[in-house]
Amino acid sequence: MPKHNVPEAELKVDFGVVGDAHAGSGPRQVSLLDMESIEQLRDKGSDVSPGDFAENVTVEGIDLSGLSVGHRLRVGETAELEVTQLGKRCHGRCRIFEKLGDCIMPRQGVFARVTAAGRIQVGDAVIADCGLRIVDSMGGSVKGAALGDGTPLVLGHPQASLEAATRIPGARRVMTRVAILTVSDSCAQGRREDASGPAIREILSAGGFEIGHERVVPDDREAIARELTRFSGEGGCDLVFTAGGTGLGPRDVTPEATLSVCDKLVPGLGELMRMEGLKKTRNAVLSRGVAGVRGKTLIVNLPGSPRAVRECLGAILDILPHAIEMMRGGGHGE
């Protein structure tokens, strides 16, 4: 069935996509497919686009094959999905197979139920809890649905009839350049191996961020401030993460160094990370990490332990694309 792109769609808890003829209380409320799978067929000469395989949501930059049943996906501001099935069993050749000569949904499709409602749109971030993989572009389709005048819908872009090339119609994908600064006397002196910096790199690399710089410095205020200034200036970074030096020790000076170079503060990020830490330990309130903006660079202090790094990044990662867009002049959104 031919589909027309729409800029957004609504997800309803324990139902699926509002207006989708296949929505309901079953386990396969929302279907997902990654753009890379579609591009592989294009490379073989097939004229296919997002929505041709009747998927509800087409994502780009996230490896759906890494998901397992039970993993959760956060889409946009509030919507959440829980993976219920990987692939499906087709009984005979479906209409998609007859038309295209192949159907990749049985092999590469992912199905989920809606656990938190929300409105999703092209450009929304998608976060997977199995590795905090993040993308800053998404498209998709509302399969075989009829709303209002009976027009079938495809989540995408109003001008998706234009050539889409290898991008989801209307999606914006801007590479985010990141610097990682580990602050530790013992690591800088070679007495201890840095584990926090690699933890940050692993999470961000899996999410499609470009790691531009990595450096280890001692707990020295001037050295920290110097690197933050360099990363946000000639380093050309959109994001700078520090790890370590946020506690109450006599040489914990990372927040002070950060405050000395920032033009404005973003206190909500530090508050959100501490709230996440409180779920595990009351000692989280002793972390003094701050976040702020220098020019068009967002600087975020993370704790020094790899476990705390993962917890804190998990709390704020989905917010960062919008923060970067705002710094680039993209407005406040809704």
Encode pLDDT of 14-39 as tens digits: 999 888 777 888 888 998 888 877 77
Mean pLDDT of 229-257: 94
pLDDT computed for residue 99 by the predictor: 57
User: pLDDT category, 289, cuts 50, 70, 90?
Assistant: very high
pTM of the model: 0.52
122 and 58 in a common domain: yes
State the average pLDDT for the chain. 78
Residues 297-314 pLDDT 10s = 999 999 999 999 999 998
Spatial distance between the Cα atoms of 170 and 151, rounded to a whole number of angstroms: 20
- Same domain (yes/no): 27, 70: yes
Q: 58 is written with which tokens?
A: 């087409």
Digit-coded pLDDT (tens) for 222-235: 999 999 999 998 77
| 167 located within any domain | no
Quick check: is 160 in a domain?
Answer: no
Q: At what angle do helices 306-316 and 196-206 cross, to 10 degrees?
A: 30
Specify the pLDDT at position 144.
Answer: 25
Asked if residue 298 is part of any domain, the answer here is yes
In a domain, 290, yes or no: yes
Contact 117, 12 (CB under 8 A): yes
From the number of C-beta atoms within 10 Å of its C-beta (0-12, 13-18, 19+), residue 208 rates as: middle
- Same domain for 105 and 248, yes or no, is no
Q: Quick one: what percent of the chain has pLDDT higher than 90?
A: 39
pLDDT tens for each residue of 100-121? 555 666 677 888 999 989 988 8
Structure-derived torsion over alpha carbons of residues 85, 321, 268, 79, reported in degrees to the nearest 10: -30
Are both 50 and 81 inside the same structural domain?
Answer: yes
Q: CA angle, corner 331, sides to 327 and 334, nearest 5?
A: 125
Question: Could you tell me if 216 and 292 lie in one domain?
Answer: yes
46: containing domain:
4-155
- Is there a single domain that holds both residue 92 and residue 229? no
Query: Are 62 and 139 in the same domain?
Result: yes
Mean pLDDT to the nearest integer, 195-206: 90
- Residues 142, 75, single domain; the answer is yes
pLDDT at residue 154 tops 80 = no
CA distance 102 to 53: 10
Q: Are residues 45 and 131 in the same domain?
A: yes
pLDDT at 187 over 90: yes
Under the banding of pLDDT at 50, 70 and 90, the label for residue 164 is: very low
Residues 34 and 74 in one domain: yes
- Residue 183 belongs to domain with CATH number: 3.40.980.10
CATH number of the domain to which 131 belongs? 2.40.33.20
C-alpha to C-alpha distance for 124 and 78, rounded to whole angstroms: 11
The answer to whether 33 touches 104, Cβ cutoff 8 Å, is yes
pLDDT at residue 143 above 70?
A: no
Q: Is 80 in the same domain as 221?
A: no
Tell me: do 97 and 200 sit in the same domain: no
Is residue 184 a part of any domain in this protein?
yes
pLDDT digits (tens, 9 = 90+) for 41-94: 777 776 777 776 778 888 877 777 777 787 888 888 888 898 888 877 655 555
**Does 164 fall in a domain?**
no
Q: Domain total for the chain?
A: 2
The pLDDT value recorded for residue 155 is 41
Residues 297, 232 contacting (CB under 8 angstroms):
yes
